[in-house]
Structure 1
């Protein structure tokens, strides 16, 4: 949408750090606030910010290639729906088959803790059943087997066996975990240059086409 159709937003923080920033077209209007999903995490903000960042990049490439500066406006509610778009998918008017394996999902363990099992890959499914002592391959059978485990011990045993399972942790439990300490102070997203090469420009060539962006549609 051209800027003429929207009131100009406050320039983004990048404008003060990016000399080439053209100003308003690299700012986004973000509408709505969390929570929009039943989660302890800011999933709405994560969905909204990632969609806005991709749209801003596309708008800037468009501008550098001679196009009109465009606004970016992202509704958090719409972004969250996009991130759960599989819930709205219909095939010939009907719900598609469940993409999850029958025994995948959340379970309560004997100590009151909970684990999430990922068993979509056949070798993960077979390995988890083997770890649990070959119970019946049903949710009821797996739930009964897990009542003999502590959640954190199951997570550790699964990791040792090359399987995929995670114990659920509260905020304080996660803060005490070594992985939380390793992530402390790290930004949510880090971009590192993988090669010492100058970035190519996406400006149009004299023939009206940029080689760097020739494959973009």
Structure 2
């Protein structure tokens, strides 16, 4: 007997604890064959957007007392949004992509992928080779290539990570699954959900603003960086939340990534280790409804930002915790990015075009997909809290989303998608901003009566004050 797997939307909605009866409210539209790949990327993308849209419609229904509105997921809107960073233009300029040292390198037993887009990661990588942080790109590329060619991938991985850099040896899915981190991640659910206490329900009276903006009146502290966390908080901002992003001073962020994911948000720099920064954080937490953290596990603990401490400081809070590799296992404390997770988990091996050099997904689908799932988890937690109270914790990781893609979603009969032609311009728009004139993707998250766009464009990083907009 052949067992048919549930659709990705059904799987994700179940992981979110949603009512199965609401799935009948979801439909799809638009062309097929987009986001071509060997793995079911299109299924992942539309499923993540579908459950995020349905969670938004569900919370809106709680606020209005009306039935849950219809959700229609447009395939073209999803495909455009999942490569939003490629469509972005800032006064006509295309954004900067990967740095010269962020790439695949052949090594003695296969391939290694490095990530050095940030200056501190670049300098740490070069430090393992005895090179100065300001070494020219040409010299640096030659030195890395020569060094890596004679070394084994896992030795390179250990050495670079020990120095605070980022390098991952390419593995097959089987090798990842057999390793301790793969086993640790596989033992977790796609979405971790936990009730932290019995704080009373705040009820509809605590939420102000347009009820068809389901997150109106919700205050979100965003302590996340490229890319999944900012995608999630960009979505919550679309739905009416007051999102305040906090960054540490002197810790560079990609201005182009911020231009893509900063819609609807405000941004402030706070040194949480300084008395003034700690006091500002305390003041903000006293009014926060949601705290999103996207740093590696443990990195923010010294600031009193563990889930338990947050619930004690702000009873009834929703804590959304995101990481690259999961919260347990030997890699839990490691930094990571979508491109590295693809390589470690075996996605790059599956997507190898010639069976030799590792490949890549047609989008940073782990980042974008996890971002929409994270937003959906926050919205569902707010709905549950509306009904029964309690501080809530939701936990996701890029590595667990990779496992969903590799082994749980319905497998395509052949190569997923055909690269079908479509006109992305329909799903692009232009907006003036303090950063310049932006051409950008519209949000694919949509439901009956929901918002069509963001209330504000991205501003300059750190340019706002550490205060909530109202109250």
Q: Normalising by structure 2, report the TM-score.
A: 0.36
- Equivalent residue pairs, number: 199
- The residue aligned with 1:145 is 147
Is the counterpart of residue 129 in structure 1 residue 132 in structure 2?
no
Equivalent residue in structure 2 for 1:214, among 210, 217, 221: 217
Instruction: Label 1:22 to 1:157 Cα distance change in 2 as closer, same or farther (>3 A).
Output: closer
Using the TM superposition, give the Cα deviation of residue 81 of structure 1 relative to its aligned residue in structure 2, in angstroms.
2.7
Q: Normalising by structure 1, report the TM-score.
A: 0.72
Using the TM superposition, give the Cα deviation of residue 73 of structure 1 relative to its aligned residue in structure 2, in angstroms.
2.0
Instruction: Label 1:186 to 1:22 Cα distance change in 2 as closer, same or farther (>3 A).
Output: closer
Instruction: Label 1:25 to 1:62 Cα distance change in 2 as closer, same or farther (>3 A).
Output: farther
Which has the larger strand fraction?
2
Larger radius of gyration: 1
Matched position secondary structure for 2:35: coil
- CA offsets, 1:23-44, max 9 Å, x none? 447742256878824364x433
- The residue aligned with 1:106 is 104
Instruction: Label 1:76 to 1:153 Cα distance change in 2 as closer, same or farther (>3 A).
Output: farther
Report the aligned-residue RMSD.
Answer: 3.7
Q: Which sits farther off after the overlay, 165-174 or 74-83?
A: 74-83
What runs of 5+ residues in structure 2 fail to find an aligned partner? 1-9, 219-238, 241-471
- The residue aligned with 2:50 is 52
- CA offsets, 1:164-217, max 9 Å, x none? 111111122112211112123422221222333244334799xx97xx953462
Instruction: Label 1:24 to 1:129 Cα distance change in 2 as closer, same or farther (>3 A).
Output: closer
Relative contact order (alpha carbons < 8 A, sep ≥ 6): 1 or 2 greater? 2
Instruction: Label 1:149 to 1:107 Cα distance change in 2 as closer, same or farther (>3 A).
Output: same
Instruction: Label 1:158 to 1:196 Cα distance change in 2 as closer, same or farther (>3 A).
Output: farther
Instruction: Label 1:109 to 1:74 Cα distance change in 2 as closer, same or farther (>3 A).
Output: same
What runs of 5+ residues in structure 1 fail to find an aligned partner? 1-11
